[in-house]
Structure 1
Amino acid sequence: MKTVITFGTFDVFHVGHLNILTRARALGDRLIVGVSSDALNITKKGRAPIYSDAERMQIIASLKCVDGVFAEHSLARKGDYIREHQADILVMGDDWLGRFDGYKTICEVIYLPRTPSISTTSIIEVVKGS
């Protein structure tokens, strides 16, 4: 049984999120998703997410392509999360190309293309401008 793991904020859930999760799940038998905690998101992006980590985890957990969800509290613990969940494959969007290659010693690393012309940031900007 192959376990796939991926990570993200998944704020203002959109079709791009669904596409990467569906494609990640197709690479294995189980998909485990680490959802960035609110505190981690503030550190990473300099802003709080629109939806709380509990709400974002609930959304991700409800998807039929997702087999498990956990809160990611630290970027530095990514290797620990991979080992804890016994992941065989780490999947990330290709906007992160090369940045996770250091984990190739503990699992396969695959970068999937992002869905063109959609991002949470652009959606938030459109809504703000309304």
Structure 2
Amino acid sequence: MKKIGYTTGVFDLFHIGHLNVLKRAKLECDYLIVGVTSDELSLAAKKKKPVIPFQERLEIVEAIKFVDEVVPQVNYDKMEAWNNLKFDRMFVGDDWKGTDKWNAIEKEFAEVGVEILYFPYTSHTSSTILRDVLNKL
């Protein structure tokens, strides 16, 4: 049976950490769906607007050979995403592992047979680091 995977991100200032997550995720599923966070959701949640506009970030992620489908992420309701996409596995950065929020999501997903796999966060490169460097120019 085909395993469907799902991951999400802002994917602003696309870098090797993003690529590594998508590559690793594709190794764990047959069909990879990626949710790209809208500018509005990013602004509401992180209090910062992405440098790269939403439509361009969508196109960048669509162009990655490991990605089979790209969808907009307009809220953080993971069960709503599952109801729409019916994925078998969700891929998340390990910086979220063990948090109350993700413990609750794990419990909810276990009831519908979704496995959550946590991947190591790329600490040496991040969009935040890149943004800081750009702001100093």
The equivalent of 1:59 in structure 2 is 60
Alignment of 1:14-93 (within 5 A): 14-76=15-77, 78-93=78-93
Q: TM-score, normalised by structure 2?
A: 0.89
Provide the C-alpha distance between the structure 2 equivalents of 1:6 and 1:87, rounded to a whole number of angstroms.
Answer: 10
The equivalent of 2:110 in structure 1 is 104
Q: TM-score, normalised by structure 1?
A: 0.94
Q: Which ranges of structure 2 fall in alignment gaps of 5 or more residues?
A: none
Q: Structure 1: which 4+ aligned runs deviate by more than 3 Å?
A: none
In the alignment of these two chains, the number of paired residues is: 129
Provide the C-alpha distance between the structure 1 equivalents of 2:88 and 2:3, rounded to a whole number of angstroms.
Answer: 6
CA RMSD between the two structures: 1.1
Identity, in percent, stands at: 36
Q: Secondary structure at 1:91's aligned position in 2? A: strand
Please list the CA deviations of residues 95-126 of structure 1 after superposition, one character each: whole Å capped at 9, or x if unmatched.
11132424333310111002231110011101
